[in-house]
Amino acid sequence: MALIAVLDYGIGNLRSAQKALERVGADARLTADPGLVRDAAGVVLPGVGNFGRCMQALDESGLDDVAVTCARSTRPFLGICVGMQMLYEGSEETPDVPGLGVLPGIVRRLPDGVKRPQMQWNVLERRADSALLAGVPDPVWVYFVHSFAAEGNEHTVATCDYGGPVTAAVEHGALWATQFHPEKSGASGMRILANFFARAVDAAAAA
Catalytic residues: 81, 181, 183
**Range 44-70 burial, b when 16+ CB lie within 10 A, else e:** bbbbbebbbbbbbbbeebebbebbebb
Closest listed residue to residue 142, CA positions, set 108, 187, 110: 187
User: Who's near 67: CB < 8 A, 6+ residues apart?
Assistant: 7, 37, 43, 45, 58, 100
> What's the one-letter identity of residue 109?
R
